[in-house]
């Protein structure tokens, strides 16, 4: 099989290589997926770059946890009827060396989820890391029907899915964006949008939620905590999956008097049951047509270094790699 891999950490163009490797064989409890589209997330590029806390655990890594494809072989203990089914994957390279940036990947069967007819491969390849993180941020503390959910950074990969999942779950969603110029784009995924460059974002949020917001999905804990506390209802939850500065300073007493719950989210280590619940809900929401995902660019496998650089440069929209599926050109 053709695969992309790195055996040392560093800049994408210096460490990522493409080569023919032996076809993997599924172990007991595993499925083998012939990958069509591989999704690239910031976590993938940070592992490759050697971001703090992401050491080179394995001598060789095939990157990326998310993808879509078709199961073409199964290991012992897996129903052979799964062969030929179209799936989306998550966690393929979570505590494992072999991800989805290859024509074939083997992974535990529970990490491959039936992709409904009518849901594009490109959508399925975007559900894993951001979708499961978004689901946990929104639903970890129970249903949200009738609640008000504030999603900070609503145009990001996690934020956009969090807003759409919260709407799907029956919540009123307020999203924030960095600039007033982005309000129109953000309004496609949230009921109400507030720009953080406005004169008084807290008052603007309170106009849509006079009683305060029940839950906050937070992309930058260090930057937005004061605003979150200012608009949070008593007994509210702040679920944060990222921060710009670490350590971050908090003011204890305002949160204590409001009985605020702080929930920190590291997607690789969510409980297995939470991941499965998220996978089920993401699949159902995608089948319902409730999830719209913006794709910035699709690269062929041979240009994986360019894809990683595109992710690291920032900007809106997901970055994908076509492995054996559509748009696999330029090689």
Beta strand 86-89 with 232-240 is: unpaired
Under DSSP, the state recorded for 23 is P
Identify the pLDDT of residue 135.
Answer: 98
Residues 48, 12 contacting (CB under 8 angstroms): yes
Q: What are the structure tokens assigned to 169, written together? A: 């779950």
Q: Helix, strand, coil % (nearest 5) of the chain?
A: 35, 25, 40
d(CA 236, CA 256): 11
Give me the tens of pLDDT residue by residue for the chain, a chain 331 residues long.
Answer: 999 999 999 999 999 999 999 999 999 999 999 999 999 999 999 999 998 888 999 999 999 999 999 999 999 999 999 999 999 999 999 999 999 999 999 999 999 999 999 999 999 999 999 999 999 999 999 999 999 999 999 999 999 999 999 999 999 999 999 999 999 999 999 999 999 999 999 999 999 999 999 999 999 999 999 999 999 999 999 999 999 999 999 999 999 999 999 999 998 899 999 999 999 999 999 999 999 999 999 999 999 999 999 999 988 899 999 998 544 333 3
Q: Does the reported pTM lie above 0.85?
A: yes
Q: What angle do CA 83, 280, 149 make, to 5 degrees?
A: 155
Task: Assess contact for 240 and 218: CB atoms under 8 A.
Answer: yes
pLDDT of 270:
96
The dihedrals phi and psi of 141, each to the nearest 5 degrees, come to -105, 25
What DSSP character marks residue 98? B
Nearest 5°: the CA angle 284, 288, 289 is 120
Give the relative orientation of helices 201-208 and 221-231 as an angle to the nearest 10 degrees.
50
What's residue 269's pLDDT? 93
3-state secondary structure of 264: strand
Give CA–CA dist 91/108, Å, rounded.
Answer: 9
Cα-to-chain-centroid distance, residue 192: 22
Alpha carbons 192 and 207: distance in angstroms, whole number: 10
């Amino acid at each position: 099989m053709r695969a992309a891999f790195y055996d040392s950490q560093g800049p994408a163009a210096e460490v990522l290589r493409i080569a023919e490797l032996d076809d993997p064989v599924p172990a007991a409890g595993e499925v083998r997926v012939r990958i069509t589209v591989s999704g690239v997330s910031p976590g993938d590029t940070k592992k490759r770059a050697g971001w703090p806390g992401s050491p080179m655990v394995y001598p060789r890594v095939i990157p990326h946890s998310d993808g879509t494809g078709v199961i073409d072989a199964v290991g012992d203990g897996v129903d052979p009827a799964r062969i030929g089914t179209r799936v989306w994957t998550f966690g393929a390279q979570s505590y494992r060396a072999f991800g989805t940036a290859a024509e074939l990947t083997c992974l535990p069967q529970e990490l491959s989820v039936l992709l409904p007819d009518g849901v594009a491969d490109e959508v399925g390849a975007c559900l894993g890391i951001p979708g499961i993180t978004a689901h946990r941020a929104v639903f970890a503390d129970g249903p949200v029907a009738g609640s008000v959910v504030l999603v900070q950074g609503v145009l990001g990969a996690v934020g956009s899915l969090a807003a759409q999942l919260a709407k799907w779950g029956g919540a009123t969603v307020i999203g924030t964006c960095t600039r007033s110029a982005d309000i129109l784009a953000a309004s496609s995924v949230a009921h109400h949008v507030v720009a953080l460059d406005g004169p008084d974002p807290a008052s603007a949020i309170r106009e849509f939620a006079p009683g305060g917001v029940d839950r906050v999905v937070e992309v930058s804990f260090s930057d937005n905590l004061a605003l979150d506390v200012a608009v949070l209802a008593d007994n509210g939850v702040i679920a944060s999956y990222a921060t710009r500065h670490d350590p971050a300073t908090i003011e204890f007493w305002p949160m204590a008097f409001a009985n605020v719950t702080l929930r920190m989210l590291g997607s690789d280590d969510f409980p297995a049951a939470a991941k499965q619940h998220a996978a089920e809900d993401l699949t159902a929401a995608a089948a319902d047509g409730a999830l719209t995902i913006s794709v910035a660019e699709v690269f062929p496998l041979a240009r994986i270094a360019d894809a990683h650089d595109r992710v690291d440069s920032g900007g809106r929209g997901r970055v994908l790699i076509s492995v054996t599926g559509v748009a696999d050109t330029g090689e």
